[in-house]
Amino acid sequence: MQNYIPNTQKQKNNFFELLYTNGNLRIGKLRNSIGQELLTPAFIPVATNASIRALDSIKVKELGINGIFVNTYHMHLTPGEDIVEELGGLHKFMNYDGLIFTDSGGFQAFSLGQAITDGVGKIVSIFSKEGRKKQTKQEKLAEVTDEYIVFKSHIDGRILKLTPENSILIQHKLGSDILMVLDECTSPLASYEYTKLSMERSLKWALRCLDFFKQHNKGNQYLYGIIQGGYHYDLRIKSAEFICSLDFDGIAIGGSLGTSKDNIAEILSWIIGYIPQEKPRHLLGIGSIPEIFTAIENGIDTFDCVIPTRYARTGTVFVNEPPNFIRDITAKYYKNLESRKYDFPIEQDCDCYTCKNYTVAYLNHLFYVGEISVMTLLTIHNLNFYNKLLNRIRQAILENKYFEFKKHFFQK
Ligand SMILES: [Zn+2]
């Protein structure tokens, strides 16, 4: 059943407009205080240090990317939120006027922070590189109490303390458009008991973040609450009920989402009905091609991920070849010497700068000899692939042909 949303359901300050819905499929528009707009569903590339790696902000805008995700933890360490604020905030600092999302810093506190001391109480140790390794005493990363997360800088060993209030203050000073509440991102390996305790703590932090945000916001920033609870039905429901009852501008879904896109779909199906229709929904850390479809058809508006940019830097490009849609041009180089002579672009019908100007043979060569320009060229192709896909998905939703499009896309 198609449904045009009347203007009365627009959010305050015109931050988010829901333009069209059809079941869980949604078309919306996010707008920042500068007046820049982002059509949703949208993929939000990660710009960890206020830069999408290998691209400058002008290139990012030229690619039509109107939303990026900056990591608060990294910006807090270097150059520091006070310097960014003095220089006019992130938009001015990086010369980018699109929508800037920041996280709370909590995730990196866990994933990058190092052990303070052995034997401190209430220590959690979670993310190995793959986020899967068993906990051991040597991997203790940060101390979490009901009041704060304490961790050691991965850059200079400084001890840093993150409270709900100073996470919001840092993001406030950075001047991002969309801020996230501080939460504890628990490991997929965490027990039910720990996930429950952690989720309940995150709810208290969400309240403190919201209070502090309301005191400091000048009307040009928007705060998202985060639904936690891992892969546990009752915990997700409790978190969703509480977070969605508060006056957040948008709702994010974080934490462990299970191990497959089916798990993601299941978790989203539990909670999506709790989120008010008129609020934008962000899924944290999701971004493979199948996951994007899963997120969109379960009512998600935006999602961030390092996949297309990180893959580019390791020589993996996105192509219209299901089921994985990726091709490793470096492996091809080693396995098939003929590919050194491939006198054609990554994709014949791709309209990106890289495919219009360079051949696979040349890109292979650049990668092999370690020329850094190849990082830029492959990143451009991959982000253009994602952008084109999201454009086509939005078009298909509007034409009521989403599932037809999806079937065709995966059968190609
Ligand atoms: Zn291309």
Ligand 1 mean position to 38 CA, how many Å? 22
CA separation for the pair 325, 323 (Å, rounded): 6
pLDDT of residue 116: 52
Q: Is the pLDDT of residue 113 over 80?
A: no
pLDDT of residue 280: 98
> What is the overall mean pLDDT for the chain?
88
- From 12-26, 59-73, 225-239, 342-356, the region with the lowest mean pLDDT: 12-26
pLDDT tens column, 209-265: 999 999 999 999 999 999 999 999 999 999 999 999 999 999 999 988 888 889 999
pLDDT of residue 315: 93
Top pLDDT among 85 and 117 is at 85
Give CATH 3.20.20.105 domain extents, the chain: 2-305
Ligand 1 mean position to 381 CA, how many Å? 4
Ligand 1 mean position to 60 CA, how many Å? 15
Q: Which of 177, 183, 249, 304 is catalytic?
A: 304
304 is annotated as an active-site residue: yes
Q: Is the pLDDT of residue 4 over 70?
A: no
pLDDT of residue 126: 40
CA separation for the pair 234, 76 (Å, rounded): 35
CA separation for the pair 68, 61 (Å, rounded): 10
Residue 110: band (very low, low, confident or very high) from pLDDT cuts 50, 70, 90: low
CA-based angle 411:21:248, to the nearest 5? 115
Q: Is the pLDDT of residue 148 over 70?
A: yes
Q: Is the pLDDT of residue 111 over 80?
A: no
Q: Is the pLDDT of residue 330 over 70?
A: yes
Q: Is the pLDDT of residue 343 over 60?
A: yes
Q: Is the pLDDT of residue 1 over 70?
A: no
103 is annotated as an active-site residue: yes
Average pLDDT over residues 261-276: 96
Ligand 1 mean position to 292 CA, how many Å? 20
Ligand 1 mean position to 369 CA, how many Å? 21
CA-based angle 152:156:159, to the nearest 5? 30
Ligand 1 mean position to 319 CA, how many Å? 9
Q: Can you spell out the DSSP letters for 130-188?
A: TS-SPP-GGG--EEE-SS-EEEE-TTT--EEEE-HHHHHHHHHHHT-SEEE-------T
Average pLDDT over residues 20-47: 97
Calculate what percentage of the chain has a pLDDT beyond 90.
73
Q: Which of 103, 177, 183, 301 is catalytic?
A: 103
pLDDT of residue 329: 86
pLDDT of residue 150: 85
Which ranges of 217-258 does DSSP label H, i.e. alpha helix? 233-245
| CATH number assigned to the domain covering 2-305 | 3.20.20.105
What are the phi and psi torsion angles at 359 (to 5°)? Answer: -95, 165
Q: Is the pLDDT of residue 155 over 90?
A: no
Residue 190: band (very low, low, confident or very high) from pLDDT cuts 50, 70, 90: confident
pLDDT tens column, 301-310: 999 999 999 9
